[in-house]
Amino acid sequence: MAKYVANRLFAMLITLWIIVTITFFLMHAIPGSPFNQERNTSEAVQRNLEAHYHLNEPVFVQYFIYLKSLATLDFGPSIKQSSTSVNEMIGRGFPVSAELGMLSLAIAVISGVILGIFAALKHNGTIDYIAMTFAVIGISVPNFIMATLLIQQLAVNWEIFPVATWSSPMHMVLPAVALATGPMAIIARLTRSSMIEVLNQDYILTAKAKGMSTYQIVIKHAMRNALLPVITILGTLVAGVLTGSFVIEKIFAIPGMGKYFINGINDRDYPVIMGTTVFYSAFLIMMLFIVDIAYGILDPRIKLHKRGN
Amino acid sequence: MSLPEKTNKGTPYTPDDLFVPLENSSYNVDHIAKPSVSYWKDAWIRLRQNKLSMAGLIVLILLILMAVFGPIISPYSYDHQVLTNGNQAPSSEHWFGTDNLGRDMFTRTWNGARISLFVGFMAAFIDFIIGVAYGGFSGYKGGRVDNFMMRIIEILYGLPYLLMVILLMVVMGPGLFTIIVALTVTGWVGMARIVRGQVLQLKNSEHVLASRTFGASAGRVIRKNLLPNTMGPIIVQMTLTVPTAIFAEAFLSFLGLGVQAPIASWGVMANDGLSAILSGHWWRLFFPAFFISLTMFAFNVLGDGLQDALDPKLRK
């Protein structure tokens, strides 16, 4: 176990380093410096600015400067908003995004699992068909369209929820639901198929023969095994929620990390793009790692050190 | 169930009158009761029974037909602006209404279908080429080569897909060509993994050994023995790649990184329509949004159906 964790941590570092390297050289492959655009600066000011951001150094030197600052968790300054650093942006944006992400993941997991279980219990019945049609629609409708529909109906026409921004729990409902529909549909489908498989096993039959109620069988026996596949895709779902939050935050004008990332892209603010990308990637890799470990603990059939062969 | 009577010694008793010679006609062992059905025909028969998947297939064919002929049958061109005619509701003149610049939404929608479907199919096709070459080679070679190639795949698989696509789009600049490149640079990994897994399973089967005994080259074995048997999972993967690519294109366009005006993809149109919906011009969002969702729906249900139909384990 300890050896496996150590191996995985090492692999994570390698992956992260590769991401940093790719991101860095991609960003520096773009011709021109961030300062030779609309601003009218004199030659001297230009040179001073470039020197301040180490832009006058060879690319490789810049690369090592960047790696060094990353090692101390310093993502560097923003070029376009010179008063704020990328660290400050992450510090301000991440709690908001995390709140939104956790909320929608919770919605997705809870409602997806419930939907999937009911569909499996009524396999090939009406509830099954309704739930699964619902799920396919959930997968098919992109979240930005779902968000707009929700705003149009629930916020503009019926005025139940506020249209945008992020201040009270009521403000959180629509964006969280819009972000949750896709993952919810995926979870519902997965839960259903693994639940059907589990319900057909002998030990469930035994439980039924003992006279247990359906409720007890599902909660006590079936769910444990049926939810294992759901845990495996949780890592991927976190990635989906995270990228999905870019558009959701844009639509609902939520001051999260996605906003800074998108603004960074629109402004071509390279340190911001690099910093947020590296942060997102590190976060995602961390989540995948946690999911893997959790899976190994929850499923005794899996021996951690043997995985991947 | 009635058990055969038992003798005192406990062995089953079989009466002598059961031992009669068979009639001559039943010796005709060459006779086949049912005409033999090929893999593809069998899959097609099973796919046809899945109503939802067939609906998806029909919708897809209609969408492709409309993408081809829609802009041709329309009297308007997708980028012709009539500013005095802006934001017209759907009517007999403009079936899907007009946008804020007075461009005909019907023409733009089907023009957008061309872009979105093109992106989807191209991404799937290029994924297929790279994934099959890489996965096939890796799985066939095995050993150290396979180990090394799979390490690369593992690292690439750990990269957040859409984040990398966004980065690539920032670097390469928006455009139809760059979208396809960005989607495939990161997208082929899934296909390669599937092909490699299948090839690894198949390469020690008898028909491959036989082929190699006859001196077939590696290329021939891969082409003739391994690929045809891997086609099922590959096709399923492709059907699921197309909606992912269409979604990614819409997503990028929505962030302003997609194709550039005046070209209209569904994502661009949905982005334009977003602000229009608050002023009541619902049709400007509805049509692109509806067709994105419909296309994704059709591909998803078709993919699900194909998954069941092409899985030999489910064959009756």
Average pLDDT, chain B: 80
Taking the Cβ of residue B20 and every Cβ of chain A, the question of whether any pair is shorter than 8 Å is answered with no
Residues from chain B contacting residue A142 (CB–CB below 8 Å)? 247, 250-251, 289, 292-293, 296
Residues from chain A contacting residue B277 (CB–CB below 8 Å)? 148, 151-152
The per-residue pLDDT for A231 is 85
DSSP chain A: -HHHHHHHHHHHHHHHHHHHHHHHHHHHTSSS-TTSSS----HHHHHHHHHHTTTTS-HHHHHHHHHHHHHTT---B-SSSTTSBHHHHHHHHHHHHHHHHHHHHHHHHHHHHHHHHHHHHTTTSHHHHHHHHHHHHHHHS-HHHHHHHHIIIIIIIS--S-SS-SSSHHHHHHHHHHHHHHHHHHHHHHHHHHHHHHHTSHHHHHHHHTT--HHHIIIIIIHHHHTHHHHHHHHHHHHHHHHHHHHHHHHTT--SHHHHHHHHHHHT-HHHHHHHHHHHHHHHHHHHHHHHHHHHHH-TT--GGGTT-
Residues from chain A contacting residue B154 (CB–CB below 8 Å)? 11, 308
Taking the Cβ of residue B143 and every Cβ of chain A, the question of whether any pair is shorter than 8 Å is answered with no
Cβ A241 vs Cβ A105: under 8 Å: yes
Instruction: For residue range B14-59, list pLDDT tens digits in order.
Output: 777 777 777 766 566 666 667 777 777 888 888 888 888 889 999 9
Residue B314 has pLDDT above 70, yes or no: no
- B20 to chain A, closest Cα gap in Å: 42
Taking the Cβ of residue B247 and every Cβ of chain A, the question of whether any pair is shorter than 8 Å is answered with yes
Residues from chain A contacting residue B278 (CB–CB below 8 Å)? 152, 156
The per-residue pLDDT for A308 is 44
Residues from chain A contacting residue B246 (CB–CB below 8 Å)? none
Tell me the sheet residues that pair with B6. Answer: B12
The per-residue pLDDT for B126 is 93
Residues 187..216 of A with a Cβ closer than 8 Å to B: which?
none
Instruction: For residue range A243-263, list pLDDT tens digits in order.
Output: 788 888 888 888 888 888 888
DSSP B212-275: HHTT--HHHIIIIIIHHHHHHHHHHHHHHHHHHHHHHHHHHHHTT-SPPTTS--HHHHHHHHHH
Cβ pair A280:B163 closer than 8 A: yes
Cβ pair B255:A141 closer than 8 A: no
The per-residue pLDDT for A215 is 87
Instruction: For residue range B155-190, list pLDDT tens digits in order.
Output: 777 777 778 888 888 888 888 888 888 888 888 888
Integer Rg of chain B from CA: 28
The per-residue pLDDT for A112 is 92
* Long-range pairs, A298-302, Cβ under 8 A, ≥24: A298/A228, A298/A231, A299/A228
Taking the Cβ of residue B243 and every Cβ of chain A, the question of whether any pair is shorter than 8 Å is answered with yes
Segment B294-304 mean pLDDT: 88
Taking the Cβ of residue A156 and every Cβ of chain B, the question of whether any pair is shorter than 8 Å is answered with yes
A/B interface, count of CB pairs below 8 Å: 100
- B72 to chain A, closest Cα gap in Å: 28
pLDDT tens digits in sequence order for chain A, 309 residues long: 778 788 888 888 888 888 888 888 888 777 655 665 555 667 777 777 777 777 777 778 888 888 888 888 787 777 777 677 888 888 888 888 888 999 999 999 999 999 999 888 888 788 888 888 888 888 888 888 888 888 877 877 787 777 777 777 778 888 889 899 989 998 998 898 888 888 888 888 898 898 888 888 888 888 888 888 888 888 878 888 887 888 888 888 888 888 888 888 877 778 888 888 888 888 888 888 888 888 777 777 766 554 443
Residue B251 has pLDDT above 70, yes or no: yes
Residues from chain B contacting residue A19 (CB–CB below 8 Å)? 159
Phi, psi of A84 (to 5 degrees): -115, 145
Instruction: For residue range B86-97, list pLDDT tens digits in order.
Output: 777 777 777 777
From B186, B198, B180, select the one nearest B155 (Cα to Cα): B186
Residue B295 has pLDDT above 60, yes or no: yes
Cβ pair A137:B293 closer than 8 A: yes
From A32, A244, A1, A257, select the one nearest A143 (Cα to Cα): A244
Taking the Cβ of residue B294 and every Cβ of chain A, the question of whether any pair is shorter than 8 Å is answered with yes
Segment B206-226 mean pLDDT: 85
Taking the Cβ of residue A139 and every Cβ of chain B, the question of whether any pair is shorter than 8 Å is answered with yes
Quick check: helix, strand or coil at residue B6?
A: strand
Tokens matching residue B74: 């329309």
pTM of the model: 0.79
Cβ pair A148:B289 closer than 8 A: yes
Candidates A145, A283, A292: best to mutate against B (most CBs of B within 10 A) is A145
Taking the Cβ of residue A280 and every Cβ of chain B, the question of whether any pair is shorter than 8 Å is answered with yes
From A20, A94, A93, A95, select the one nearest A62 (Cα to Cα): A20
* Complex-level ipTM: 0.76
B113 Cβ contact partners less than 8 Å away, ≥ 6 residues apart: B63, B66, B67, B70, B266, B291, B295
pLDDT band at B230 (very low <50, low <70, confident <90, very high): confident
Taking the Cβ of residue A152 and every Cβ of chain B, the question of whether any pair is shorter than 8 Å is answered with yes
Taking the Cβ of residue B121 and every Cβ of chain A, the question of whether any pair is shorter than 8 Å is answered with no
Instruction: Please state, in angstroms and rounded to a whole number, the distance separating the CA atoms of residues A119 and A131.
Output: 6
The per-residue pLDDT for B12 is 59
